Amino acid sequence: MDHGLFGPRSVTWRVMGEPVQLVGGFRALLMQGLHPRAMRGVVQNSALMDPDEAWARFVRTTEFVRIRTYGTRAEAARAGARVRKIHASLTAYDPDRDEDFRLDDPDALRWVHVGEVDSYLTVARRAGVPLSDEDADRFVAEQRRSAELVGLRPGDVPGSVAELNAYMEAERPGLYFVPEAAHPLRVSLNAPLPLRLTLLKPAFPLVTVLAIATLPRWARRLYGLPATPLEDLWATMTLKALHCGTQVIPEGLRYSPAVRRARRLMSAA
């Protein structure tokens, strides 16, 4: 049976299915926003404050993550091909180097990949999803398959937590939040949602604040926000409370159909 890129014995299926990973997804976007080229690629090619465009982009990204994680190999390959085609067809301008660049720029893609992997893993562990150090390394190594979908070579991205941390440390000198982008907190106060989802608006600032609080302290400083152990403690306690709270929700409501199927396969395995 084709279980896609990962399968029931993977750490990826254990990490990605929990509802608390909504915070992980927002954190990944915040990490992406600190890479000047990655952020400019988004800002110059997306109508971020257009409700239809912003929400449609969010839905497309969420669907890509779902297919990549739980779809068949053929579905994942098709989704990856679409993403690579879009990235190859778009360009943005980098004022730091006074040059145009394509959105499939390997350095930017690598940072986006690492920010995603680090975010999902960090949120899972701080929320209390049971993962050993070996599990964490396996998750990072498994995600090399995700990197391949967007056009990166598996050997060019970290394969362990130590490599992940070393890469981020090496990249820090070149990171900053570009001035032409709207600050995430300001955007979250007036989240660009379609009219039918207006009732969800009050939740966006809360999710954004929690996602920011889970960032490394150096990343919070780059956003011009407080970076003390107090926010670290609050973020960890809140993630644990959210994760524990979702466990009392019936599985039929807690998990999407794809995750429910994956959990059945994991139990059988």
Assigned token pair, 147: 């990197």
Assigned token pair, 65: 């993550």
Task: Tell me what pLDDT residue 36 has.
Answer: 96
Extents of the domains making up the chain: 11-257
Spell out the per-residue pLDDT of the chain, length 269, in tens.
789 999 999 999 999 999 999 999 999 999 999 999 999 998 898 765 566 666 777 788 889 999 999 999 999 999 999 999 999 999 999 999 999 999 999 999 999 999 999 999 999 999 999 999 999 999 999 999 999 999 999 999 999 999 999 999 999 999 999 998 888 888 887 777 777 777 777 888 899 999 999 999 999 999 999 999 999 999 999 999 999 999 888 888 888 899 999 999 999 88
Half-sphere exposure of 65 (CA within 13 A, CB side): 22
Task: Tell me what pLDDT residue 49 has.
Answer: 53
Asked if residue 266 lies in contact with residue 13, where contact means CB atoms within 8 angstroms, the answer is yes
Task: Tell me what pLDDT residue 244 has.
Answer: 94
Per-residue pLDDT tens over the stretch 132-145: 999 999 999 999 99
Task: Tell me what pLDDT residue 51 has.
Answer: 60
Assigned token pair, 112: 């986006």
Q: In whole angstroms, what is the distance from residue 235 CA to residue 126 CA?
A: 8
Asked if residue 210 lies in contact with residue 239, where contact means CB atoms within 8 angstroms, the answer is yes
Amino acid, single-letter form, for residue 186:
R
Rounded to the nearest 10°, the torsion over CA 99, 103, 109, 111 is: 50
Task: Tell me what pLDDT residue 231 has.
Answer: 95
Q: What phi, psi does 233 have (nearest 5°)?
A: -65, -45
Write down the H helix ranges in the chain. 11-16, 21-32, 36-43, 51-70, 73-89, 106-127, 133-142, 144-149, 161-171, 184-189, 203-213, 217-222, 229-246, 251-254, 257-268
